[in-house]
Chain A
Amino acid sequence: MIDIILLTLLVVVAIAIIRMKDLFAVVMLLGIYGLLSASFFVAMDAVDVAFTEAAVGAGISTLLMLVVIAMTGRKEKTNRHKPLPALCIVLITGGLLIYGTFDMPHFGAADAPIHQHVAPRYINDSMAEVGVPNIVTSVLASYRAFDTFGEVVVIFTAGIGVLTLLSVARRKEDAEKISSINDSMHEQHLVIRIVAKMLIPFIFLFALYVQFHGDFGPGGGFQAGVIFAAAIILYAMLFGLNTARKVINQTFIQLIAAVGVLLYGSVGIVSLMNDGNFFNYNVLASDPIAGQHLGILLIEWGVGCTVASVMMIIFFSFAGRLELHQHNERVKNQESS
């Protein structure tokens, strides 16, 4: 029942997103879409995925898109291209997907191949082999650690890509001339600022909890990194970019992003040196289970570092562009008046 309600809501929100012309509303709806998907994942007992979706889909991506909208304007431009051919392709693709569902094993069927082939070992033996109660973590961080490493590198790549395309070389004198976006807000929104100041330490604390709790429940480096970055972004939004830049040095976060990847990778290299295969945590300590614990702890830190710093890099690059954009507009206005 709850599945049907959630799925209907998802469809309704998706249609609304397509029809809306106001981009601000679209971004808000995208956040809601993320939250609904997260709830749907919870209903399907995939709490780890749900947590990630809530943190990324409903959380940080909404924030980032808001920054973009601040630069591009709220209104969608009227499109001139013909939607009909595109619609045909979408219908064919959708039709093929539905066609593919006809022979799928039923949802939750115990005899489905996904429950029969690889999964039983994860469920039955992971406690003895990896020693972590959360099976999802043992799959992500140990059995398939290399995929997770790849994902971290994907995030690192995204960060470097954004830096390459959006970073503006700012000189000292420029930095003083360009007033930060939120300078005017210093006097306004007192309530929000005070509440945020009280909240931020708890957000940090929660991020750390999520970071360390990944072994036992939903959580881990990805979610923790995003939550940590969200706190910093909140701070930057309320107290001005320049204030935030004083707290978080830009070169420093780039360094941390690189260190995260290196930390993760060097766990693998240490296993190589101890005569194990890459990412074989068993050889990291004299006791295999202790080795697994150590390995997972370290790589989760690697993940957390890279994710948090890349999120911040993306935010600061976008916001830096925004500042420059507004500064140029202001200069133009002054010249014309």
Chain B
Amino acid sequence: MIAHLPILQVIIPLMAAPICLMLKRAQLVWLFSLIASGLAFAISILLLQQVMTSGVISYELGGWQAPWGIEYRIDKLNAFLLLIVSGISTVVLFAAQTSIEKEIPKNKHVYFYILYLLSLTGMLGIVATGDAFNVFVFLEISSLSAYALIAMGKNRQALWASYQYLIMGTIGATFILIGIGLIYQMTGTLNMYDLSQRLPEVAQTRTVFAAFAFVIVGVCLKLAMFPLHLWLPNAYAYAPSIVTAFFAATATKVAVYLLIRFTFSVFGLSFSFTTVPLQTLFMALGLIGIFAASTSAIYQRNVKHLFAYSSIAQIGYMIVGFSLSTVTGLTATLLHLFNHALMKGAIFLALAAVIYRVGNIELNNLRGLGRQMPLTMAAIVIGGLSLIGVPLTVGFVSKWYLLMALIEQGWWPVAVLILLGSMLAVVYVWRIVEAAYFKAPLDNSSPVKEAPMSFLIPIWTLIIANIYFGIDTRLSVQVAEAAAQSLFGVSL
């Protein structure tokens, strides 16, 4: 069975989804989904181990050789992403049962888990495949289920937020499809590795240039890169809390992966960064994104909105690292993918716990919660410190690598800007600390209890991971560095 691990990675959550429909009982379905997601996580660990020791794994679906059939191609980069996605999914799912109890009507719980598993399947499929069209198919699975999941939010605004996301997401997916169609026309192949071999021949044509533009814009829409981020804040704020925790930690990461995969592996480094002025463009947009989104975050009253804007800012850091197109820069981006998943997973799960107890997530509702829900609020604070980049947390590690990468290239002014951006994070995190610890509870609010164990266990698992990987960086840095190096090895 070891040989079939790449496909099992995707097929287990996929097949689990329709089976859920037959199980009927919500509790049973939850347990079943948790097992499926946990299995996927276990497989991703095995895959990463295998890739780190013995290199790229290629799996031919249907037994057909690569450019004719579809190939799953697991290298260090996707193995790392598979680990992040399935790991976060499992931890978040652990808290799902308690959280949706108060947010989603009973008769829809089974559908919720089915859509959750389908969304997971979609993301894993996008990451695992080595075929450009297969990416699109799984992108559709993950997007459709995401729209439905977001629309399940308690408020009516959730429908509108989901609709906006649907329109933007569909445009993004269509652009990606147009781009894939154009490169297929110029090369006659859909396999990514094969594309990377055949594209340089036709790289100087206008068709390939148009294809590149469509793919990049499409991916950036999905990525919520500034200025294409407008769908994200509402979608994150109005979605059910569990869904926010899951997506904030994984969905944009998968889009960043696609960006890296298409620019570095498919189109190739020399085309992406020499023929097209991607470096300056992305560097500028990344920086503006960091400042614009962090500033917006400061002015939000709704805490979910606040952290949604902070997510857009964090995407900015990843884009800056990416735009350097050096091994260290890419390492910083990949590290931040992993680290940001840990921080935002923890923070949004903690917010889910607050909503479970308080019912509302305006800044005012947090007043005095530092005493009433000490463990949950402590988690938010540690997550916030990690967002800022305080030493001994994972946030420090990725910022450190980003700064090193910038200084290595002599981009001193940008390095200073990055540090200033972190100061903005201090401001918005402080607003939460202030509300939770230094303000008396509102007079009319009733006292609340600490969150139940089903929340605390996953939240603190992630928080401990935040600290552990902030101190012992061997695993994450080693994998990220190896992945970055392998990308440069292939494309140079």
Residues of A that sit less than 8 Å from B by CB: 96-97, 99-105, 112-119, 121-122, 142-147, 150-151, 153-154, 156-158, 160-161, 163-165, 169, 254-255, 257-259, 261-262, 265-266, 268-269, 272, 276-282
- 5 smallest beta-carbon distances between A and B, as pairs: A100-B210, A117-B188, A161-B148, A150-B137, A280-B63
Q: A266–B14 Cα gap in the complex (Å)?
A: 11
CB-CB under 8 A from B144, the residues of chain A are: 154, 157-158, 161
How close is B166's CB to chain A, nearest CB, in angstroms?
10
A115 touches B148 (CB 8 A): no
Q: Mark B6-45, 1 if CB is under 8 A from A, else 0.
A: 0100010011011101100000000000000000000000
CB-CB under 8 A from B210, the residues of chain A are: 96-97, 99-100
Q: A282–B209 Cα gap in the complex (Å)?
A: 41
How close is A325's CB to chain B, nearest CB, in angstroms?
16
B61 touches A261 (CB 8 A): no
B69 touches A104 (CB 8 A): no
CB-CB under 8 A from A101, the residues of chain B are: 207
CB-CB under 8 A from B62, the residues of chain A are: 142-146, 277-281
Query: What are 21 pairs between A and B in contact, CB < 8 Å?
Result: A99-B210, A104-B207, A105-B185, A114-B185, A117-B67, A118-B190, A119-B188, A143-B62, A143-B69, A147-B133, A150-B141, A154-B137, A154-B141, A157-B144, A157-B145, A157-B148, A160-B114, A165-B152, A278-B4, A278-B7, A278-B11
How close is B138's CB to chain A, nearest CB, in angstroms?
6
Residues of B that sit less than 8 Å from A by CB: 1, 4, 7, 11, 14-15, 17-19, 21-22, 59-64, 67-70, 107-108, 111-112, 114-115, 118, 121, 125, 131, 133-134, 137-138, 140-141, 144-145, 147-148, 151-152, 159, 178, 182, 184-190, 198, 202, 205-211, 213-214
B207 touches A265 (CB 8 A): no
B141 touches A157 (CB 8 A): yes
A277 touches B63 (CB 8 A): yes
Of the candidates A100, A113, A121, A160, the one whose C-beta lies within 8 Å of that of B211 is A100
How close is A13's CB to chain B, nearest CB, in angstroms?
20
CB-CB under 8 A from A118, the residues of chain B are: 67-68, 188-190
A281 closest partner in B (C-beta)? B62
B134 touches A160 (CB 8 A): no
How close is A90's CB to chain B, nearest CB, in angstroms?
11
CB-CB under 8 A from A161, the residues of chain B are: 115, 144-145, 147-148
How close is B167's CB to chain A, nearest CB, in angstroms?
12
How close is B111's CB to chain A, nearest CB, in angstroms?
4
Q: A165–B105 Cα gap in the complex (Å)?
A: 11
How close is A250's CB to chain B, nearest CB, in angstroms?
13
A163 closest partner in B (C-beta)? B111
Most A CB contacts (10 A, CB to CB) among B18, B111, B159 go to B18
B148 touches A164 (CB 8 A): yes
**Contact flag A277-B4 (CB < 8 Å), given A161-B144, A262-B18:** yes
Q: A117–B15 Cα gap in the complex (Å)?
A: 34
A144 closest partner in B (C-beta)? B70
**Contact flag A160-B206 (CB < 8 Å), given A96-B214, A119-B188, A261-B18:** no
Most A CB contacts (10 A, CB to CB) among B115, B141, B211, B213 go to B141
B133 closest partner in A (C-beta)? A147
CB-CB under 8 A from B198, the residues of chain A are: 113, 117
Most B CB contacts (10 A, CB to CB) among A112, A161, A165 go to A161
Q: A278–B15 Cα gap in the complex (Å)?
A: 13
Of the candidates A99, A160, A163, A272, the one whose C-beta lies within 8 Å of that of B4 is A272
**Contact flag A104-B134 (CB < 8 Å), given A122-B68, A143-B64, A153-B121:** no
CB-CB under 8 A from A103, the residues of chain B are: 205-208
Q: A281–B381 Cα gap in the complex (Å)?
A: 54
CB-CB under 8 A from A279, the residues of chain B are: 61-63
CB-CB under 8 A from B190, the residues of chain A are: 118
Q: A265–B7 Cα gap in the complex (Å)?
A: 12
A103 closest partner in B (C-beta)? B205
CB-CB under 8 A from B147, the residues of chain A are: 161
CB-CB under 8 A from B207, the residues of chain A are: 100-104
Q: A268–B206 Cα gap in the complex (Å)?
A: 41
Q: A162–B18 Cα gap in the complex (Å)?
A: 15
**Contact flag A258-B19 (CB < 8 Å), given A150-B125, A153-B141, A160-B118:** yes
Known: A117-B198, A144-B69, A154-B141. 14 other contacts (CB 8 A): A99-B210, A103-B207, A104-B186, A105-B186, A116-B188, A143-B62, A143-B69, A146-B70, A268-B7, A269-B15, A276-B63, A277-B61, A277-B63, A278-B61
Q: A105–B186 Cα gap in the complex (Å)?
A: 8
CB-CB under 8 A from A158, the residues of chain B are: 144
How close is A91's CB to chain B, nearest CB, in angstroms?
15
CB-CB under 8 A from B134, the residues of chain A are: 146-147, 150
A89 closest partner in B (C-beta)? B171
CB-CB under 8 A from B202, the residues of chain A are: 113
Most B CB contacts (10 A, CB to CB) among A122, A151, A156, A265 go to A156
CB-CB under 8 A from A268, the residues of chain B are: 7, 11
Q: A53–B15 Cα gap in the complex (Å)?
A: 29
How close is A172's CB to chain B, nearest CB, in angstroms?
15
A143 touches B68 (CB 8 A): yes
Q: A272–B190 Cα gap in the complex (Å)?
A: 25
CB-CB under 8 A from A99, the residues of chain B are: 206, 209-210
Q: A262–B19 Cα gap in the complex (Å)?
A: 8
**Contact flag A160-B133 (CB < 8 Å), given A103-B207, A153-B14:** no
Most A CB contacts (10 A, CB to CB) among B111, B152, B189, B210 go to B210
CB-CB under 8 A from B188, the residues of chain A are: 112-119
A282 touches B63 (CB 8 A): yes
A255 touches B70 (CB 8 A): no
How close is B25's CB to chain A, nearest CB, in angstroms?
14
Of the candidates B18, B21, B140, B213, the one whose C-beta lies within 8 Å of that of A154 is B140
**Contact flag A258-B112 (CB < 8 Å), given A102-B206, A114-B188:** no
CB-CB under 8 A from A262, the residues of chain B are: 15, 18-19
How close is A162's CB to chain B, nearest CB, in angstroms?
8
A277 touches B60 (CB 8 A): yes
**Contact flag A160-B63 (CB < 8 Å), given A116-B188, A143-B68, A278-B11:** no
CB-CB under 8 A from A96, the residues of chain B are: 210, 213-214
**Contact flag A255-B22 (CB < 8 Å), given A116-B188, A157-B144:** yes
Q: A314–B287 Cα gap in the complex (Å)?
A: 44
CB-CB under 8 A from A281, the residues of chain B are: 62
B178 closest partner in A (C-beta)? A97
Q: A161–B59 Cα gap in the complex (Å)?
A: 31
A165 touches B148 (CB 8 A): yes
Of the candidates B17, B22, B138, the one whose C-beta lies within 8 Å of that of A150 is B138
CB-CB under 8 A from A282, the residues of chain B are: 63
Q: A257–B17 Cα gap in the complex (Å)?
A: 11
CB-CB under 8 A from A121, the residues of chain B are: 68
How close is B338's CB to chain A, nearest CB, in angstroms?
27
How close is B34's CB to chain A, nearest CB, in angstroms?
19
CB-CB under 8 A from B189, the residues of chain A are: 113, 117-118
Q: A112–B125 Cα gap in the complex (Å)?
A: 30
A168 closest partner in B (C-beta)? B107
Q: A160–B110 Cα gap in the complex (Å)?
A: 10
Q: A59–B14 Cα gap in the complex (Å)?
A: 30
How close is B173's CB to chain A, nearest CB, in angstroms?
11
A96 closest partner in B (C-beta)? B210
A157 closest partner in B (C-beta)? B144
